[in-house]
Amino acid sequence: MAEFERSRLKKTTEESVSRKAVFLGLLTVFLFGVVVVFGLPLLVKLSLFLGNTKDKQAEGDGGVRVLPPLAPRLVLSYEATNSARISIKGVAEPGVMVELLKNDVAIEKTEVTGGGEFLFSLVDLSPGENEFSAIALTEDKGSSEMSKKITVVFDNQSPSLEMTNPVEKSLSVDYADFNIEGRTEAGASVLVNGKVAMVDDSGNFKIKMQLQLGKNDFEIIARDNAGNEIKDKIAISYDL
């Protein structure tokens, strides 16, 4: 009888654990689906709702617990720009104030919309790296933790461009396959008549072009990560 009772309890425990595992799995899939379909602002609202529910439960137990707002999230789709002013958007709890910091110095505040979004427009950049972070502020719940920092580089200088083959602006050759080669700054991209050239880690680039009989005009464009570019033109005549 005792053996039967132990077996029954073990089976009941396993079934309970299995149900909990299935529930957690379904909850994870549901939350992932919410993020994919409705985006991060709705997830922020859901987190806020769950936090408020916990607060009410604590108050029902005779305790008073006030949770600070969630840390905001800054959103910037690029790491470098040639513009001296940019816009920075983000998401946070609806209704809170968000303070923007540049290089750890507070520069501006704005209120979060009912959809959980905020925007700082016309933010001035300093030459080189600019590090931004943000903090959420409320009157009754205090302030949040600091957001994750983002960095954007302000660079309005054109990259270098040096042709190594050919070094002349125009020349004549008696062969159809011609390697156009040169050097630019590391990390830049190069287009030759709209075709992408291979650029190594040191900025050296090379592309093989098929010449047509007669004069062949080529435009070489080097562009850095901030969008600055420099152009050069060469002419290669192909005669048999």
Query: DSSP character for 94?
Result: T
Note whether residue 67 is domain-resident: no
Buried b vs exposed e over 42-59: b needs ≥16 C-beta within 10 Å? eebbeebeebeeebeeee
Same domain, 20 and 51: yes
Note whether residue 132 is domain-resident: yes
Same domain, 79 and 150: yes
Same domain, 175 and 229: yes
Domain that holds residue 50: 2-60
pLDDT in tens, 63-97: 556 789 999 999 999 999 999 999 999 999 999 99
Note whether residue 20 is domain-resident: yes
Question: Token pair for residue 94?
Answer: 């609806």
pTM: 0.68
Of the three residues 154, 178, 194, the one that is the final residue of a domain is 154
Note whether residue 66 is domain-resident: no
Same domain, 138 and 176: no
Of the three residues 60, 82, 110, the one that is the final residue of a domain is 60
Residue 216's closest CA among 238, 196, 192, 195? 238
Residue 106's closest CA among 97, 96, 114, 115? 97
Which residues of the chain have a pLDDT value below 70?
Answer: 1-65
Same domain, 87 and 143: yes
Note whether residue 131 is domain-resident: yes
Point out which residues pair with 110 in neighbouring strands: 98
Note whether residue 206 is domain-resident: yes
Same domain, 165 and 141: no
Same domain, 172 and 208: yes
Work out the number of other CB atoms within 10 angstroms of the CB of residue 153.
17
Structural domains counted in the chain: 3
Same domain, 9 and 54: yes
Same domain, 56 and 89: no
Note whether residue 185 is domain-resident: yes
pLDDT of residue 136: 97
User: Is the distance from CB of 135 to CB of 99 less than 8 angstroms?
Assistant: yes
Same domain, 25 and 41: yes
End-to-end CA distance of the chain: give it in Å, rounded.
104
Note whether residue 81 is domain-resident: yes
pLDDT of residue 140: 86
Same domain, 39 and 78: no
Same domain, 42 and 79: no
